Structure 1
Amino acid sequence: MAKLSMRFEIRKDKLNQEGKAPISCMISVSQKRKRISVEKSLHPVNWDNSTQRAIHISKTQHSKLKLGLKHTDLLMGSDVDQINSLLDKMQSRLNFIETRFRLNDQLYTVDDIYNTYLAECPSTGIKSTENQIQKPPTVPEFIDTYIERNRASRAKRSLCVYSQLKNHLVAYEEWSRSKVEFESIGLSFFEEFQSFLIEERTTINNNTIAKQLSTLKTLLNYARKHGIEMNQSYRDFTIKRQKLEVITLTEREFKLLKEADLKGVRRHIKARDIFIFLCATSMRYSDYAQFKREHIKGNTIRLTMKKGNKPWEIPLNPESIAILEKYQDMAEPLPKISNQKLSKYIREVCEVAKINEPIEIIRYRGSEPIVNIYPKHQLISSHTGRKTFCTLSLERGASVETVMKWSGHESYASFKRYVNLSRSHSISEMERIWGKTELMKVV
């Protein structure tokens, strides 16, 4: 389905006697365009083409520009705010009109958007008669629109979270016998919805609940920016997150993995090679899946990360080069295995390597702790490779800034979730900084 695009601009070809240009909004659908007058005008110097908004010119700026106009002829700060507020409302209203067409599965043209806007918003106002303004969608209905709009730009896995949220909201509607509407989804709703997830959706724990609540907040912010009016007290709701365990391989375990006798089992050998490569490059599975020979540039790998579409470059090292050389006769730089199978095979390899330290995992459902103990090999996945890279790089002496550059992390807050410095490293660093200690004698 075609999408609405819009651009605010000033008509320099329509200057009035005072030298002011009228503002208009150019809307387009499938390369067909219509112009909507905003019924506001200003001097061109008060307009910024890049932001498509009015700007204030200070007295200092005015004197430098030598415009041939008095400063009092230009917009005051309050005038700028008023105009920009009007443009924001107009943009939100147009987006909302498009959303209604999408929710009703209606094909639409630029004329449909244009005529609907003029019918609902004559001049700069909005008619308030109930028979002219359709009721906004419920929150579960709007999720379908969000998924459709973002299908091309978001990873499938990230959109699955929104589908899960819709399922929970629909279940809540059945349980509460009331629709989840934007105007009623404030702070009190979040508190009740959280209680519903804890008490009625008993298969999910607090971390999953926190993720669902965070996703709902993101959705509401998106809807608000697209013109849907709502109770904004939801923004005061605080989401509590449990700090999760960081599972990585230690130096000893990494050595055990590399030296394990896999008895010639090909799926295990390939999976180990891929996992070692991930441990040596910090690569995510999504980037391994798109990794091609053309991404190898001399002694570095350069590609655009799937997550965030960010450029990424990392130097190769002996571990990663050895794996690439092993498969140099293949068209692809590495064998390709699905993420699910790779994680499964790596767990099997780690079990062979006797990576079986008991790990206690504590999750909460409401205030009730759920405690489980697993051998470490059961907790390994393909993503453990990236976390192992970050941890071992730090333990081997690289600075935090360098490791973040290698891994592509932009904030320390997200980076620290990938690091699990070992107890032995902590002890050796204390001895290196403060000196080696004798065993304390018990008196």
Structure 2
Amino acid sequence: MGSISVRLRAGKEGKQNIYLHFNYGRKRQYRFATGLSLKDKKHWNADSNSVKNVKGEPDSQNINSKLSLLISKGNKLLSELEDSGSPIDNLILKKHLKKIKEKGSSSIRKKVPLLTEHYDWFNDHFSVHPRPKTQKPLAKSTLKPYKNTLRIIKDYEKQLGIKFTFEHITLEFHHDFISYLQKEGFTSNYIGTQIKNIKTIMHDAYERGLHTNVDYQKSGFTKPKEEVNHIYLNMKELTAIKNLKLKNRPKLDIARDLFIIASMTGLRVSDFNNLNTSNIEAHKGIRFLRVKTQKTGKIVLIPLHPFVEEILKKRNGEFPPSMPDQHINEALKSIARKAKLKDEVIIKKTIGGKQVETTYKKHELVTNHTARRSFCTNAYKADMPVVDIMAISGHTSEKVFYNYIKATSLERLEKISSHSFFN
């Protein structure tokens, strides 16, 4: 069981400030400033934890009365927190002691729910049940970053030696958590994803009446975000990749064909990696793919690009077999190098709170997701209407869609200059 002791600390002009020291576990202590003080250390009675009734301490009776009440309330607080099964830490003690100091009391709810407990439930529940907003369960690709955030929160809890309740998620937590993630060397956008996921869990718990803390809704509880110069491949570069002779390298051949299909369809890896002949249909002589996307559940119709038809012909009408994401990404570095994608690309990122500028060869940056960006950008440069590109890519927000358009300012200039307004 926890205990309380009273200690003095020297203040200004020889005054002695009175503090309560809470001991609530092995090496777990909290020092609380009572706001009370005495004029001289000689006037303190350590046996009774009180100020002596002497001429030099004219306010001794009032100080002793307030101090006695704080000690009594503090002991009661420790007892109630232990009985409730709630976690005890400095932040929790500070919050309740502040209420006691200002209002004379602080209510303790039985069994305060923990953030990670609800987070675990959220992941399990919505992996099989539809979310109210989307009317669909969380896709595997969406569930993965949620699980990553939960793991990071638990690691942070271990470092602090506490368990977060919903009341912990304040603007102060927001600042400290971001600082922790920066020290861990994460990028601003990755940190932003963690904040976004926490806000989602907090909002779900709030709507279920599990807490009344609205700090996560405040303007200061923002998610860091920055524009990163992600690459795309133009049609000349994609053609070079398509034309590579890889018959003696079957794994590279499969990865290359999957990448080209993705670059001509705009499909995510979870979709292009699972295509089969049942996805191919025809309408008025037009061959196209009908795909129910895993992430959104929407059905998209995509005309078969000649590059895709070429791959199907090479494989006797079949799509390439699926391949683990990471294996495709590993293969793509080698494939892009063989295609001589050697242009230098400067990538600026905020890592660990500091902006870092790194120069890469283009082939070092090619990944699965490069294909989706390449589709959107090349279709945009080819004057395909944005609404039609979005119908294929499955984007529902133009704001998000335009993040995928990686045309340079000069490439945009060329496109804009051909508009009738400038002619």
Tell me how far 1:351 sits from its aligned partner.
0.3
Tell me how far 1:370 sits from its aligned partner.
1.9
* Alpha-carbon displacement from aligned partner over 1:169-205 (angstroms, at most 9, x marks no partner): 2333344444311123222221222222223xx2322
Instruction: Say whether 1:320 aligns with 2:302.
Output: no
* Alpha-carbon displacement from aligned partner over 1:349-392 (angstroms, at most 9, x marks no partner): 11001012111122213541122211111111122111111111
Distance 1:402 1:160, change over 3 A: closer
Matches within 5 A, 1:383-422: 383-422=369-408
Instruction: Say whether 1:347 aligns with 2:333.
Output: yes
Contact 2:349 2:356 in 1 (8 A): yes
Contact 2:141 2:295 in 1 (8 A): no
Amino acid corresponding to residue 243 of structure 1 in structure 2: E
Contact 2:142 2:295 in 1 (8 A): no
| Partner-residue secondary structure (3-state), 1:363 | strand
Instruction: Say whether 1:146 aligns with 2:153.
Output: no
Tell me how far 1:235 sits from its aligned partner.
0.9
| Partner-residue secondary structure (3-state), 1:418 | coil
* Alpha-carbon displacement from aligned partner over 1:24-72 (angstroms, at most 9, x marks no partner): xxxxxxxxxxxxxxxxxxxxxxxxxxxxxxxxxxxxxxxxxxxxxxxxx
Q: Distance in 1 between matches of 2:348 and 2:364?
A: 15
Tell me how far 1:142 sits from its aligned partner.
2.1
- Per the alignment, residue 289 of structure 2 pairs with 301
- Per the alignment, residue 382 of structure 1 pairs with 368
Distance 1:422 1:303, change over 3 A: same
| Partner-residue secondary structure (3-state), 1:255 | helix
Contact 1:302 1:314 in 2 (8 A): yes
Matches within 5 A, 1:3-402: 134-152=110-128, 153-199=137-183, 202-236=184-218, 237-262=221-246, 264-298=248-282, 299-328=287-316, 330=318, 333-402=319-388
Distance 1:181 1:352, change over 3 A: same
Amino acid corresponding to residue 334 of structure 1 in structure 2: P
Task: Return the TM-score normalized by structure 1.
Answer: 0.63
* Alpha-carbon displacement from aligned partner over 1:231-257 (angstroms, at most 9, x marks no partner): 112211122201122321023312322
Contact 2:261 2:272 in 1 (8 A): no
Tell me how far 1:135 sits from its aligned partner.
1.3
Amino acid corresponding to residue 214 of structure 2 in structure 1: Q
Distance 1:234 1:431, change over 3 A: closer
Tell me how far 1:275 sits from its aligned partner.
1.5
Distance 1:264 1:435, change over 3 A: farther
In angstroms, what is the RMSD of aligned CA positions?
Answer: 2.5
Deviant stretches of 4+, over 4 Å: 433-436
Contact 2:258 2:273 in 1 (8 A): no
| Partner-residue secondary structure (3-state), 1:383 | helix
Contact 1:276 1:385 in 2 (8 A): yes
Higher deviation after alignment, 172-181 or 299-308: 172-181
Q: Distance in 2 between matches of 1:350 and 1:173?
A: 42
Contact 2:265 2:302 in 1 (8 A): yes
Distance 1:430 1:185, change over 3 A: closer
| Partner-residue secondary structure (3-state), 2:368 | coil
Q: Distance in 2 between matches of 1:366 and 1:203?
A: 4
Q: Which runs of 5+ in 2 are unaligned?
A: 1-106, 129-136
Distance 1:197 1:337, change over 3 A: closer
* Alpha-carbon displacement from aligned partner over 1:112-171 (angstroms, at most 9, x marks no partner): xxxxxxxxxxxxxxxxx97xx741321122222122212323233433323332333233
Amino acid corresponding to residue 272 of structure 1 in structure 2: R
> Rg bigger for which structure?
2
Distance 1:182 1:344, change over 3 A: same
| Partner-residue secondary structure (3-state), 1:212 | helix
Distance 1:294 1:264, change over 3 A: same
Contact 1:246 1:417 in 2 (8 A): no
Higher deviation after alignment, 240-249 or 170-179: 170-179
Q: Distance in 2 between matches of 1:184 and 1:366?
A: 24
Q: Which runs of 5+ in 1 are unaligned?
A: 1-128, 437-443
Q: Distance in 1 between matches of 2:361 and 2:292?
A: 36
Distance 1:161 1:271, change over 3 A: closer
Tell me how far 1:434 sits from its aligned partner.
9.1
Tell me how far 1:430 sits from its aligned partner.
5.4
Tell me how far 1:213 sits from its aligned partner.
0.9
Q: In percent, how many aligned pairs have the same letter?
A: 26
Task: Return the TM-score normalized by structure 2.
Answer: 0.66
Amino acid corresponding to residue 146 of structure 1 in structure 2: F
Tell me how far 1:282 sits from its aligned partner.
1.1
* Alpha-carbon displacement from aligned partner over 1:276-313 (angstroms, at most 9, x marks no partner): 11111112111123322222111111121101111111
| Partner-residue secondary structure (3-state), 1:346 | helix
Amino acid corresponding to residue 139 of structure 1 in structure 2: L
Q: Distance in 2 between matches of 1:135 and 1:266?
A: 58
